Structure 1
Amino acid sequence: MARPASSYFPSIEKKYGRPVRERIDPIGSSDLTRHSELVAWLKSEHGLGHGHATALVARTLAGRK
């Protein structure tokens, strides 16, 4: 069974020292729309790991629906 995206949030905040909201807001206002593009952007521009970036993007895109 897949882990819910929000279950990653405490470890994201602990590892990167910033609230999750500071990561989600820029994703939501980005011109990028595809999951893979957003994950790549978070990894390259913000230094997030793949799992953390995927969780943040999944949560953000779910909120757009």
Structure 2
Amino acid sequence: MPTEAAKGPASYFPSIEKKYGRPIGDWQQLVRAHLPAKHMELVSMLKAEHGMGHGHANAIVAHVLSEPKR
């Protein structure tokens, strides 16, 4: 039974983990710690402070911000 490929922002997660050497959960927690910042503020933080590319940073932020509010 084939597994369905990740879609949307989550499709970037394997390459993010490989390139930056940290689990996605770590990146998501980092973004959550900076809330309630705006989307582009969070993307800029990942890029400036962690050297992340725009697409990868955007994918993580978009995924975190799409989570249901707790």
TM-score range, shorter chain: 0.7 to 0.9
Q: Report Cα offsets for 1:9-51 as digits up to 9, x if no partner.
A: 0000011111011110010121452111000000000110000
Give the paired residue count. Answer: 63
Contact 1:32 1:38 in 2 (8 A): no
State which structure, 1 or 2, has the greater radius of gyration over its C-alpha atoms. 2
Report the TM-score, using the length of structure 1 for normalisation.
0.88
Q: How does 1:1-65 map to 2 (within 5 A)?
A: 4-65=8-69
Higher helix share: 1
Percent identical residues: 51
Alignment gaps of 5+ in structure 1: none
Q: Which runs of 4+ in 1 moved over 3 A?
A: none
